[in-house]
Chains A and B, each alone.
Chain A
């Protein structure tokens, strides 16, 4: 069993946790990630601490990424996807399609010269997405880089002291004993809920937008005017608990992140008024009760989900909802509306399901074969980890990743006897 290798597909926090546990127990791990760096969705999220830690767990992600970077048993295969698989448990043969990544992670020393010299303004065409990337490499942003807009810019390539910027890379084939699928989730696209105004009104943001704004260290301002928001509404369950759009499940993270953001916004501006519109507040979990109690002191909680958001003036939005205490449709004005978007299954899960021959279950998450084992698929030797199997927060994704690693080791141990 020693020296056997395992393929982990998806470098989010779940896949990373599986990879680390397998590597720590002596396995060779190929961590295949479609994007240029690992970390997944939560890698670009923000710390939600005010004066005290709000236990959002986001800080666990960079910590895990650094551990992967330091672990020589894990080979990172970035910019790659699995396009074929044959064989079975003990000897899977996996075909990978690797897209050119332009910056060679093996050579990049993360000195930052390229970003400094890149002529794109204000957003650079090459940068380090966040401080704790693994591989520790700068990446080219195709939406910004002039080369992808037809220009013949070569500034970064010519000036890179390590000669790391390069356009040629080759396809790969791997041989592995087992596979863990940890391809994660998609954040629900709030545009699908057209009446709530996302994408039409600049002052309607999503939870994901807030994550990104806070993660850059900035404070949140009104996109329309640049002013500090004073009256903010959060609308819960956008894209969750909604059978009509096919998402008849609770996303399990949005109530908690909304309350943490609300506190953070009030920490930034103690004058700010925050209202949270909800169906049921999900406050279960160790230690969260205390936090909820604090929230009740400064945040207004309103039962009921608004049906529509309209624009009154550039800086004023109108939220229309049914006031349950009066039984009447009520209108209130806010300067910022945040939609608490949740976890949706990846639309491309279907492609991977077909390549690997594994089943999709309720709502489009991967299905488990054994009702008592949420990591087991219908194919012996292929396991599931994290949010690709169903909604989870970060600590639960980590635990699920470790569970998948544990099942792999157990299955391979049984084969070895």
Chain B
């Protein structure tokens, strides 16, 4: 077989443990018979630097152009071996691995069968190696500016931190002023500073920064392009303009909604929402008649929110301290799993705030303008309690801003069941979206308190910095590619790509074809599977490679 290939096979017996149970020299002898195998080496410790240096030298000296490693799991050292191959002057993708340790000798007690399986796996890796293709590394230069949508505390903090990192930011806020929800709160917890002070400090930093450009009363209309080179259409007043950015951060926060069905009640002058109470306390002059008894009902419309019990606790204490009187908080499970909340709960009780826990929702009625609350207090053997109350503060649920849905769909970003932005992986990348270069921070994707929102802002600023700071991004060019001759432009792949990485393009000024943006593509391979014309090929896992592997599979089964 003369195909110009020179395969080098590197076997590792893991400190001699594997050669005790099978004869490595026999494997070597067998492999040497293959006409395109130039070199077979046996090492005891291929995972160590010393052996890798020798491997690099062998690749160079013997002119090897395809490398096969039969050793432990690729999870452990594949990247190291790719580096070795690259440093020997061979493309790092021209490496194929067989896991003969975990998948063979460690998995099977019958060492004879394990050895047979190992031989098959090595053969499969060799077959695959013959069809490997190089993937070139290139660099694409990117725009270093960042667009932040939403000028609440999260957006402000993200802009400040990006500015500290020397990146220029445009902060777009749809309202006339920055600050979001913080503008409405009378006080904050556990932060010991007033919301006015927090905002004043932050806005001063924004004003002093050379790197932050603020656009209030402005809205994002549309975005085209991809990571490193987005162009955003922004509307302000009657005008519209387009600017280019390398990355986009969404910090559009939340709005609150009162659902009268849950309580069977409408809002009135003595039934108010938490937001209305915040506003009332903020401008205490408005409080004409000091209520003698105030009740909070929380943890009822959304049992799994942390911020609304937080707001109830904070304001219960505030009212108790300010107006005295009776203050009572009704809840199912008090959410105290946040910084300082247990302490706040204790402070409330020490100051005389009454807590009533229920399993069955309280019945609230109104007679002659007076509110009556009936509830079974589970801490008092389920005793029926009737509470008179001058002012009832009801809970609201956090919901996404109205335009989230529209923005989500124009930008191809996923939404969760409640309509908040859906993170790419809730655990792994809590601030990354499904699209490369687009991030979420703050309450537009999760129910966070202020400190958590600030942590999000730090995380997202660093993500954008890491992506853009060098002014260029290293990519593997055409690791997944569309063959323009085969593409029938049926749009199947464009619809299937979860990362919105495929766009339409014209070749030779005539034919429309699908084109994959290397920067945005995550290499998942979905498009290659769905393409009816078989026009798309992931270079690391092409059909030829997989079929070549399959050829040997029968020998083992």
Interface positions of A (Cβ within 8 A of B): 21, 24-25, 55, 57, 60, 63, 66, 70, 106-107, 109-113, 136, 160-162, 241, 243, 248-252, 255, 280-289, 292, 303, 324-327, 362, 371-375, 390, 394-396, 399-400, 402-403, 405-407, 409-410, 413-414, 417
Contact = CB atoms under 8 A, between A and B. Distances in A.
Interface stretch (B375-383, B406-414, B524-532): B375-383
Nearest to B299: A280
A414 B205 CA distance: 14
A406 B464 CA distance: 11
B462 interface: yes
Contact of B378 (A107, A303, A373): A303
B193 A292 contact: no
Contacts of B305: 284
A249 B165 CA distance: 35
Contacts of A63: 428
Contacts of B446: 286
B322 interface: no
B451 interface: yes
Given A162-B48, A250-B336, A374-B455, A283 B165 contact: no
Given A109-B47, A284-B335, A402-B462, A410 B381 contact: no
Nearest to B75: A66
A250 B15 contact: no
Interface string B448-465: 000110111011011001
Nearest to B381: A327
Contacts of A394: 427
Nearest to A67: B79
B357 A303 contact: yes
A4 to B, nearest CB: 15
A249 B426 contact: no
Interface of B: 14-17, 44-45, 47-48, 75-76, 79-80, 161, 164-166, 190-193, 198, 201, 303-306, 333-343, 346, 357, 378-382, 416, 426-428, 430, 446-447, 451-452, 454-456, 458-459, 461-462, 465-466, 469
Given A112-B17, A161-B16, A395-B427, A284 B341 contact: no
Given A248-B343, A284-B305, A403 B378 contact: no
B469 to A, nearest CB: 8
Most-contacted residue by chain A among B305, B306, B335 (CB, 10 A): B335
B45 A283 contact: no
Given A243-B346, A409-B165, A414-B164, 14 more contacts: A66-B75, A250-B341, A251-B337, A286-B447, A303-B379, A325-B378, A326-B381, A362-B343, A372-B191, A399-B430, A399-B459, A400-B455, A406-B458, A417-B166
Most-contacted residue by chain A among B15, B79, B465 (CB, 10 A): B15
B357 A410 contact: no
B16 A280 contact: no
Contact of B459 (A283, A284, A402): A402
A252 B306 CA distance: 12
Nearest to A72: B83
16 contacts: A161-B16, A162-B15, A241-B342, A243-B346, A251-B337, A252-B338, A283-B333, A292-B304, A303-B357, A325-B378, A372-B198, A402-B458, A406-B465, A407-B458, A409-B462, A413-B166
B15 A161 contact: yes
Contacts of B337: 250-252, 255, 282, 284
A417 B45 CA distance: 46
B428 to A, nearest CB: 7
Contacts of B336: 241, 250, 280, 282
